[in-house]
């Protein structure tokens, strides 16, 4: 006996495949985007339209603004397969867009990024904003520099500062050095586990260290748990092991007048206590755009904002 229900399911599946094939075989950006947005949204990604537009703009070698302005741009030849592959990586593997296109904007810079480094986040820009008020010529260290985002952005915006970046991961340090060379921004790079072996010559220390608790691994998005370097994400049962270790070292470095630490949601009170215990009497927090206390700032003495000479 013929199974009509089964036939209907097969016909529906065939139609979906045919629709997908028509989308992928399309020769306009509009049609290619429609198919990609559907696939990325079905995978559970939060920003399917933005993701699809960034991926297609990268494949076509145009800006996202150009792509939005001209949805009839031709998508043909090798670009079709390249876009298919990019969408597969985003939708099936849940690879972050920044890793697929190989770059991420941060402040005024465009940084090269890959799976050797954490992807710079907008909230990390708060560290840069805190340090912009340092006095002329101050010596500053970015601990756990990763891609070099904070150190490079500061040197770019405050060329008078003496800026260094340190990193325990040699692979990450390779990315930071390459970004510095490509951008032509003069930052010193050091291989170090926190402050071990680092000269005691800095007036300020910034750090975006790992701060996710080991127990929260299952709660993270696949983009983070599958692709970002785990050593830059997790830090013990409370997520505070690395931050605690840095502050213990800073307690013995009285030259450091200011420390600014990026922290996770709900961690600011605990980190503030650790910062005071390390000898920084004036402690405050900076909130990100979501209202989360994202950066804890400690000062031994008020860092005087001198006039730019």
- List, in order of start, the domains of the chain with CATH numbers: 4-93 (1.10.8), 115-299 (3.40.50.150)
User: How many residues appear in the chain?
Assistant: 309
d(CA 307, CA 309): 6
Residue 71 has a pLDDT of: 80
SS3 call for 167? strand
Which tokens is 133 given? 């008020």
Enumerate residues 6+ apart whose C-beta is below 8 A from 225.
Answer: 217, 218
Enumerate residues 6+ apart whose C-beta is below 8 A from 12.
Answer: none
Q: Where are the alpha helices (DSSP H) in 123-267?
A: 125-131, 149-157, 170-183, 222, 241-250
Backbone CA torsion sign across 146, 209, 137, 305: positive
Residue 301 has a pLDDT of: 67
Rg (CA), the chain: 23
Residue 23 has a pLDDT of: 46
Residue 158 parent element (H or E): none
pTM confidence score: 0.86
Segments in the chain below pLDDT 70: 1-26, 301-309
Residue 72 has a pLDDT of: 83
Start-to-end Cα distance in the chain: 91
Enumerate residues 6+ apart whose C-beta is below 8 A from 111.
Answer: 103, 104, 105, 120, 147, 148, 149, 152, 179
Residue 17 has a pLDDT of: 37
200 dihedral zone (left: phi>0; alpha: psi -120 to 50; beta): beta
Residue 292 has a pLDDT of: 97
d(CA 240, CA 263): 9
Residue 308 has a pLDDT of: 42
Asked if 251 contacts 277 with a C-beta cutoff of 8 angstroms, the reply is yes
Asked if 258 contacts 205 with a C-beta cutoff of 8 angstroms, the reply is yes
């Amino acid at each position: 006996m013929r199974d009509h229900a089964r036939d209907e399911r097969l016909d529906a599946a065939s139609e979906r495949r045919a629709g997908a094939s028509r989308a992928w075989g399309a020769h306009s950006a509009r049609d290619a985007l429609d198919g990609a947005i559907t696939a990325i949204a079905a995978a559970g990604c939060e920003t399917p339209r933005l993701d699809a537009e960034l991926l297609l703009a990268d494949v076509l070698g145009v800006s996202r603004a150009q792509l939005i302005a001209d949805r009839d741009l031709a998508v043909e030849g090798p670009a079709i397969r390249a876009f298919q592959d990019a969408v597969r990586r985003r939708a099936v593997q849940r690879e972050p867009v920044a890793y697929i296109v190989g770059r991420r904007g941060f402040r005024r810079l465009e940084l090269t990024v890959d799976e050797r480094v954490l992807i710079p986040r907008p909230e990390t820009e708060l560290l840069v904003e805190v340090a912009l008020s340092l006095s002329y010529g101050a010596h500053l260290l970015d601990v756990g520099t990763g891609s070099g985002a904070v150190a490079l952005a500061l040197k770019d915006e405050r060329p008078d500062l003496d800026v260094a970046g340190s990193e325990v991961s040699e692979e990450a340090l390779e990315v930071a050095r390459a970004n510095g060379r490509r951008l032509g921004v003069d930052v010193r790079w050091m291989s170090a586990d926190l402050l071990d072996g680092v000269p005691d010559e800095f007036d300020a220390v910034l750090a975006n260290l790992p701060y996710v608790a080991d127990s929260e691994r299952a709660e993270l998005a696949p983009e983070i748990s599958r692709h970002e370097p785990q050593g830059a994400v997790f830090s013990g049962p409370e997520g505070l092991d690395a931050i605690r270790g840095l502050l213990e070292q800073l307690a013995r470095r009285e030259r450091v007048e200011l420390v600014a630490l990026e922290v996770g949601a709900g961690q600011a009170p605990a980190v503030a206590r650790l910062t005071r215990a390390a000898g920084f009497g004036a402690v405050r927090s900076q909130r990100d755009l979501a209202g989360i206390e994202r950066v804890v700032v400690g000062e031994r003495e008020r860092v005087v904002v001198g006039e730019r000479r």
